[in-house]
Amino acid sequence: MSVPGLAVSVLGAGPWGRAMACILGSNGHLVHLWSGDESKRLALRTERAVPGSAAALPDNVVIVDDLAQALEPERVLFAIPPSHASSLLVRAAPWFRPEHRVVHLVRGLADDGTPMSRLITRETCVVQVGALAGPVVAAALWEGKETAAVIGSPFRGLVDEVCSLLTVPGVRVYSSPDLVGVEVGGAMRTPLALAAGVIREVGMGPAVLSVLLTRGIAEAGRLAEALGGERSTLSGLSGIGDWMFTANDAADAVVCAGMALARTGDAAYPEAERRVRTLLTLSSRLGVELPITEAVGSMLSGVPLQEALEVLMMRSPGLESA
C-alpha cells in the first residue's frame, strides 16, 4: 500500500519522467519535476498537459527551475538519457547529499561503459542507488495497462520505499538484489530490439526471433558476470521479460530503427547507435564476446545484412549454456 505525503524528485521530463511524476502525484506525493529544457518546463508549468497522453500533471507535481530546489527531497528518480547523464551529475553534485536515495530509469550504460548506478556513486556522494527496469513503458502506464517492473538494488529499504511509491492498480513491482544484472538487462535491450526489427523487416520468422532472445540471455549473462552481476538475472523481467515485450512491439522506436536498418542500411537513431557502440567498446575492454551486438554494430557500420548474418552463423559450435 502506498504511503501518501512523501516528497520525491524526478530529474528528467521525457516520457519516463512525466509518467513517473504523474503516478507519484496521483498517489498523493509532492513531486519536484525538473527538466534541463527551459521551454519544456514552461509548457508543463502553464499547460499541465502531458504530450502524447490524455493525462494532466496533478497539482502536487511542481515544475522546478534549478537543481538545488529539485534535489530538496531525499528520494530521487533519475530519468536522464546516458548521453547527458554524466554532465548533469557533475552539475548536480553540489546538491546531492549522502542521505539521498536514487533510482534511475535508464536502459543503457554511461558513454564509457559504466553502469548508471556506478556513475551516480562516482560523480556524487550518494550511497544508496537502484535501477528500475522490465517490460514497462510510459505509454502502458498512461493507458492503465497491466504490466510489471523490477527494482534492482542491494538496499532493501530503498527497494521497499520505491515499491510503495509506485504502487498503482495494474502495476506489479518486483525486486532484485542484483543491481548490475538488472542494468545489463536494460542495456542489452537496444541491440536486441534493433536485431528484432531486422528480423521483422526481412521476414525471418518467429523461430529466428526465439533464437535471438534466448541467445541474448547467454550474451547478456556473460556481460553481467564480467561486471560483477549474476547471469540468472537475465532470465527475469529486466532481461528476457523486457526483450520479449519489446521485440513483439512493432511500434517500439528501437524496433522501428532496426526495420529501417534492414530496409535502407540506416537506422536513423543516433542514441540507439551510440548505446550499441558503448556495449562493443565495453566488451572489448572486458574481453567478453557479444556476437549479436557485434553483428548489429557491423550493420550500423554499413556491412550488408547477409554478410553480418554469415559471420554470426559461422561461429564455432559451443554449449548452449555458455
- Check whether domain 187-313 has CATH 1.10.1040.10, yes or no: yes
pLDDT digit string (tens) for the chain, length 322 residues: 445 578 999 999 988 898 889 889 888 999 999 999 999 899 888 887 665 666 788 899 999 999 999 999 999 999 999 989 999 999 999 999 999 999 999 999 998 999 999 999 999 999 999 999 999 887 777 777 788 999 999 999 999 998 888 877 888 899 999 999 999 999 999 999 999 999 999 999 899 999 999 999 999 999 999 999 999 999 999 999 999 999 999 999 999 999 999 999 999 999 999 999 999 999 999 999 999 999 999 999 999 998 988 887 776 666 656 6
Which segments of the chain does DSSP mark as H helices, in order?
15-26, 38-47, 67-70, 82-92, 116-123, 138-143, 156-165, 179-202, 206-226, 242-247, 253-264, 270-286, 291-300, 305-313
- Do the Cβ atoms of 80 and 106 come closer than 8 Å? yes
CATH superfamily, with its number, for domain 7-177: NAD(P)-binding Rossmann-like Domain (3.40.50.720)
Query: What is the distance between the alpha carbons of residues 300 and 163, in angstroms, rounded to a whole number?
Result: 38
Residue in this structure with the C-alpha cell 554449449, named with its chain if needed: 319
Torsion angle, alpha carbons of 153, 271, 287, 299, to 10:
140
Enter the pTM of the model: 0.92
Fold: same for 7-177 and 187-313: no
Domain boundaries, the chain: 7-177, 187-313
Contacts of 181 (CB under 8 A, 6+ apart): 152, 224, 229, 230, 231, 232, 233, 234, 238, 239
Residue 65: count of CB within 10 angstroms of its CB? 13
